[in-house]
Chain A
Amino acid sequence: MTVFFHYSLHGFANVFLVGNDVTMEAVIVDPAAFTLGLLQFVEDKGYTVKAVLVTHGHARHIDGLRTLLRIYDAHVYSSNATLGDIPCRMVTDGENFTVCGLAVQALSVPGHSADSMVYRFDKLLFTGDTLNAGLIGKTMSQYGNKLLKEQLARKVLSLSDDCLVLPGHGPPSSIGAEKLYNLGWKIPRNEVEHSEYRL
């Protein structure tokens, strides 16, 4: 398995390509943009994009989806039935499935958005906007903030410390680092309560 990242200036989001080096099939995680540069990169590596995993339906993570689907005949996996008029294969919390010969587990982590999913490839976690280096996702309410922390603590931070966090924005991290250095556990975004959150 090979993982490549592409920094999209559209929304300053990360686009990931996970390639199966045996079948030369590839998965794109969060097609924030599908630029000529990214297309050239995929083609140069000799991959065929067969699947798209969407962590959540915010525009800055899926704006390249329509372009991608014009070029590649790929299945779209999401917790939604459709993204705009694009039909998706719906995934549910805890579901194990295979894309391009790679085993994936979907974990539902609502809070930043109701449809937020984390995709786990063994020790690789594509966390979208739920968790990124030093921060947790922005929420619209204290309820959302509490829900997000609870879901992360139960489903993501319970994984081993050497699991790698590949977020939708910003640099990579690891579960061990996020347990120690994430401000999300220390300071609620809306500053309403100041008690330290217990994992």
Chain B
Amino acid sequence: MYDMRRCSEPGCDETVLFESPYCAQHHPDPDAFTSALLAKFAKPGAIKSVNAAGLRFQGVDLSGKRFFSCSFSKTILRNMVFAGCTFRMCFFDFCAADSCDFSGIDAQFCSFAGARFLNDSFEHSELVHNNFDGAKMTECTFNNSNLYNSRFIMAEFERTDFIDCNLKRSMIIPSKEIEVSWRLSNTQEAIHDLDRIDL
């Protein structure tokens, strides 16, 4: 698990960035820190227990990388390429992802709760056991993906497609749904109301 120490800034309760005494807000040079982190990501091998919460990433190709127990909470992601990446127990909650490529990813037990997705692709992905509660998706595509046991409670979908997806055991209780296609997906196997939940 990533380092849970508190930021050295007095009164700050945020967890520290990877191998740093500060959180993103109080780090003296977050841009240099981000560059150093990307250099680490560029090396071969799995990326484990990295806390990058609150940083900004733009225009970097991280395709095929494997992330374990990492935090990208509250990050800002622009034109990032995560195609074919593996994510296990990673946290993207409250991140803002604009024009990012998540296609072909294998994400299990991850949280994207409260995230904002604009013009992102999750096509052909394994999205098993993930949390998309409260996520706002605009002009995104999840086509041909496996969403088994993932949750979309209070999510907002706008011009977003879920064509030919596996929705078995997924919980889809959105608060907003505009121009969404579920064509060829097994919507009858998804859970749409609380009466069918037995937890």
Q: Which residues of A contact B (CB under 8 A)?
A: 1-5, 7, 12, 122-124, 129, 132-135, 137-138, 160, 162, 164, 168-174, 176-177, 180-183, 187, 189
Contact = CB atoms under 8 A, between A and B. Distances in A.
Counting chain B residues whose Cβ lies within 8 A of the other chain, the interface size class is 35 or more
12 contacts: A2-B1, A5-B89, A12-B149, A138-B197, A171-B129, A171-B149, A172-B89, A173-B111, A173-B131, A177-B111, A181-B153, A181-B154
A170 B93 CA distance: 16
Nearest to A184: B194
B134 A177 contact: yes
Contacts, number: 111
A19 to B, nearest CB: 10
Given A3-B69, A187-B194, A170 B113 contact: no
Given A162-B15, A164-B91, A170-B131, A177 B109 contact: no
Given A133-B113, A160-B13, A173 B133 contact: yes
Interface of B: 1, 4, 13-15, 49, 53, 69, 73, 89, 91, 93-94, 109-111, 113-114, 129-131, 133-134, 149-151, 153-154, 169, 171, 173, 194, 197-199
Counting chain A CB atoms within 10 Å of each CB, the highest count among B49, B53, B153 belongs to B153
A174 B15 CA distance: 14
Interface of A, helix, strand, loop or mixed by DSSP:
loop
Given A162-B13, A171-B110, A173-B113, 14 more contacts: A4-B89, A129-B199, A133-B133, A134-B151, A134-B173, A135-B197, A162-B53, A170-B149, A170-B171, A170-B199, A171-B131, A173-B131, A174-B113, A183-B153
Nearest to B169: A12
A176 B93 contact: yes
B111 A3 contact: no
B173 A183 contact: yes
B111 A174 contact: yes
Contacts of A174: 73, 91, 93, 111, 113
Nearest to B127: A171
A171 B169 contact: no
Contacts of A187: 194
A176 B199 contact: no
Contacts of A4: 89
Contacts of A189: 194
B94 to A, nearest CB: 7
Contact of A181 (B73, B109, B113, B129): B113
